Amino acid sequence: MNQRWRSRRASYRPADPIRTSLYDVAEIQDDTTARMFVCEHHYSGTYPAARFRAGLYRLGELVGVAVFSHPCNNRVLTNVFRGLPVLKAMELGRFVLLDEVPGNGETWFLARAFELLRAVGVRGVVSFSDPVPRTDVHGRRIFPGHLGIIYRAHNARYLGRGYARTLKLLPDGTVFSDRAMQKIRAGSKGWRYASEQLVAHGADPLHPNADREVRHSWLRRWTSELTRPLRHPGNFRYAWALDRRVDVPEGLPWPKERLVA
């Protein structure tokens, strides 16, 4: 069964074949188009720092988006692709297909997206899958977990887990990220969007002219009141070399975890 999304809710469909004559893959030039699609349908409801966006179209209608982004830390890329200039690699930050896309549409879409990346000089891609389910504050499961089966099907190398950490969950079960907190503390680009995630759950609005001390105090108060901790053992990490001359670490045995229905 293949995991699909619509309006941030997961569903599953059998591995039925895609009729490729009905579909096209193209770069999405407009970041707003990709952002709106991802935020509407992806379980996280958030959008990464995009460097390249590919769209899956069925008869001209957007039915899937792959967002290739730059991670918060360059080491996410350089620890995998040693010696490769950091801007020659990307992270597959979001990958979401609507529930109407046939079962093997993921690998077909991903292969076409990688062709687009090669054409602009990208030589390596990393991605992560999060196997830990999420629940909202009422105990309803809002995310069943994601093992990265599609990455294995598309010949990714499994490189073990990322770093263990403690997540901060908002009442709806979504993650209030470290990056969002950093933006609020620094008052840097994107701080308003980050703060609105807390405001949506009951926080007082943060004044645009708040100084550093006020921002820090505001963040401490509302993360304490509105988030709950979740100890996370680390996401599964995968990598692809888009050029045979690029070295990738030896793959590890695939993890044994199974999702719980």
Packing angle, helices 178-186 and 191-199, rounded to 10: 110
Q: Which phi and psi (to 5°) does residue 143 adopt?
A: -145, 120
List Cα–Cα distances, 104 to 64, 156, 172, 242, 259, in angstroms.
13, 16, 31, 21, 20
Q: Which residues pair with 11 in a beta bridge?
A: 4
Confidence of residue 1 (pLDDT cuts 50, 70, 90): low
Q: What percent of the chain has pLDDT over 70?
A: 92
Q: What's the pLDDT tens digit per position in 152-167?
A: 889 999 999 988 999 9
What mean pLDDT do residues 229-257 have? 91
Confidence of residue 8 (pLDDT cuts 50, 70, 90): low
Question: H/E element holding 106?
Answer: helix 105-119
Q: Does 141 or 85 have the greater pLDDT score?
A: 85
Q: Residue holding tokens 């830390």?
A: 73
Q: What's the pLDDT tens digit per position in 87-135?
A: 999 999 999 999 888 878 889 999 999 999 999 999 999 999 998 988 9
Residue in 13, 74, 64 with CA at minimum distance from that of residue 37: 64
Q: What's the pLDDT tens digit per position in 176-208?
A: 999 899 999 999 988 998 999 999 999 999 999
pLDDT given at position 92: 97
Confidence of residue 257 (pLDDT cuts 50, 70, 90): low
What mean pLDDT do residues 168-175 have? 92
Confidence of residue 147 (pLDDT cuts 50, 70, 90): confident
pLDDT given at position 261: 39
Q: What percent of the chain has pLDDT over 90?
A: 66
Q: How far apart are CA 190 and CA 187, in angstroms?
A: 8
pLDDT at 52 over 90: yes
pLDDT given at position 142: 81
pLDDT at 138 over 50: yes
pLDDT given at position 259: 47
pTM: 0.81
Which domains, and CATH codes, for the chain? 2-164+234-241 (3.40.630.30), 177-226 (no CATH)
Q: How far apart are CA 60 and CA 186, in angstroms?
A: 41
pLDDT at 217 over 60: yes
